[in-house]
Amino acid sequence: MLLKQYHLKKIRVIIALIFFLFIVFFFIDFRKLLPDPFYDVLLYLQFIPSILKFISAVSIATLGFLVVLILTTLFGRVYCSAICPLGILQDCILWIKKKAIRNFRFRFSSPLDYLRYPFLALPVITYLAGTILIVTLLDPFSNFGRIISDFVQPIYVLLNNTGAWLLEKVNIYFLYPEDISLSGWGAYIFPVFILGLIIWMSLKWGRLFCNTVCPVGTLLGLISRISVFRIKMIQDKCTQCGKCAFDCKSTCIHIKSQKVDFSRCVGCFNCISVCPENAIKYLGPLKLKSQPQEADPSRRQLLISGGLLLMSLFGYRKSVFAREFESGLRGGVKTSYPGLPGEMKSGLSHEIDTGLYQEIDSGLSHDGDSGLSQELDTSLSQPADSSFIPKVASDLPKEVPHNKVPTTIEPEKHFTVTPPGSLGIEHFTGTCTACHLCVSVCPTQVLQPSIFQYGIAGLMQPYMDYVTNYCNFDCIICSEVCPTGAIMSLTMEAKKTVQIGKVHFILENCVVYTDNTSCGSCSEHCPTQAVHMIPYKGELTIPEVRPEICVGCGACEYACPTRPFRAIYVDGNYIHEIALLPEEETLEEKVIEEEFPF
Residue 295: per-residue pLDDT: 46
Question: What tens digit of pLDDT does each residue of 323-369 get?
Answer: 444 444 433 333 333 333 333 333 333 333 333 333 334 344 333 33
Residue 330: per-residue pLDDT: 37
Alpha-carbon distance of 266 to 403, in angstroms, equals 62
Q: Is the pLDDT of residue 428 over 70?
A: yes
Has residue 532 been placed in a domain?
yes
Return the number of other C-beta atoms located less than 10 Å from residue 274's C-beta.
17
Q: Is the pLDDT of residue 532 over 90?
A: yes
Same domain, residue pair 44 and 179: yes
Has residue 315 been placed in a domain?
no
Among 169-178, 257-266, 335-344, 536-545, the range scoring the smallest mean pLDDT is 335-344
Same domain, residue pair 478 and 352: yes
Q: 227, 243, 268 — which closes off a domain?
A: 227
Has residue 300 been placed in a domain?
no
Percent of the chain with pLDDT over 70: 77
Has residue 250 been placed in a domain?
no
> Average pLDDT of 28-35?
82
Q: Is the pLDDT of residue 388 over 60?
A: no
CB 138 within 8 A of CB 123: yes
Q: Is the pLDDT of residue 524 over 90?
A: yes
Q: Is the pLDDT of residue 94 over 90?
A: yes
> Average pLDDT of 7-20?
93
pLDDT band for 400, please (50, 70, 90 cuts).
low
Q: List strand residue ranges (DSSP E) for 175-227, in order.
A: none
Q: 179, 200, 227 — which closes off a domain?
A: 227
Has residue 402 been placed in a domain?
yes
Q: Which residue would you say has higher pLDDT here, 395 or 574?
A: 574
CA-nearest of 436, 427, 477, 401 to 55 is 427
Q: What distances in angstroms separate CA 407 from CA 353, 371, 404, 506, 532, one per listed residue?
A: 38, 37, 9, 10, 21
Residue 326: per-residue pLDDT: 45
Residue 590: per-residue pLDDT: 59
> Average pLDDT of 416-422?
95
Alpha-carbon distance of 340 to 345, in angstroms, equals 6
Same domain, residue pair 200 and 346: no
pLDDT band for 507, please (50, 70, 90 cuts).
very high
Residue 220: per-residue pLDDT: 95
Q: Is the pLDDT of residue 61 over 90?
A: no
Beta strand pairing status for 259-260 and 280-283? unpaired
Q: Is the pLDDT of residue 125 over 90?
A: yes
Has residue 278 been placed in a domain?
no
Residue 335: per-residue pLDDT: 33
Radius of gyration of the chain (CA): 29
Residue 364: per-residue pLDDT: 41
Alpha-carbon distance of 298 to 306, in angstroms, equals 12
Question: What tens digit of pLDDT does each residue of 215-262 get?
Answer: 999 999 999 999 999 999 988 889 889 899 999 999 999 998 889 999
Among 130-144, 337-351, 430-444, the range scoring the smallest mean pLDDT is 337-351
CB 313 within 8 A of CB 124: yes
Structural domains of the chain, count: 2
Q: Which residue would you say has higher pLDDT here, 454 or 300?
A: 454
DSSP H or E stretch at residue 431: helix 425-431
Residue 363: per-residue pLDDT: 40
Same domain, residue pair 557 and 430: yes
CA-nearest of 468, 427, 435, 458 to 575 is 427
Same domain, residue pair 468 and 348: yes
**Three-state SS letters, 11-65:** HHHHHHHHHHHHHHHHHHCCCCCCCHHHHHHHHHCCHHHHHHHHHHCCCHHHCHH
Instruction: Label residues 488-517 b or e (16+ Cβ within 10 Å = b).
Output: bbbeeebbbbbbbbbbbbbeebbbbbbeee
Q: Is the pLDDT of residue 588 over 70?
A: no
Has residue 276 been placed in a domain?
no
Question: What tens digit of pLDDT does each residue of 46-55 get?
Answer: 999 999 999 8
**Which residue type sits at 286?**
L
> Average pLDDT of 513-531?
92
Alpha-carbon distance of 169 to 121, in angstroms, equals 58
Has residue 427 been placed in a domain?
yes
Same domain, residue pair 337 and 223: no
Q: What residues contact residue 453 under an 8 Å CB cut-off, 6+ apart? A: 388, 416, 463
Q: Which residue would you say has higher pLDDT here, 395 or 86?
A: 86
Q: What distances in angstroms separate CA 77 from CA 23, 82, 210, one per listed residue?
A: 20, 9, 11
CB 370 within 8 A of CB 357: yes
Same domain, residue pair 103 and 221: yes
> Average pLDDT of 55-83?
89
Q: 194, 227, 260 — which closes off a domain?
A: 227
Alpha-carbon distance of 267 to 363, in angstroms, equals 39
Percent of the chain with pLDDT over 90: 57
How high is the mean pLDDT of the chain?
A: 80
Residue 552: per-residue pLDDT: 95
Q: Is the pLDDT of residue 527 over 60?
A: yes
**Which residue type sits at 252?**
C
Range of the domain at 381: 331-578
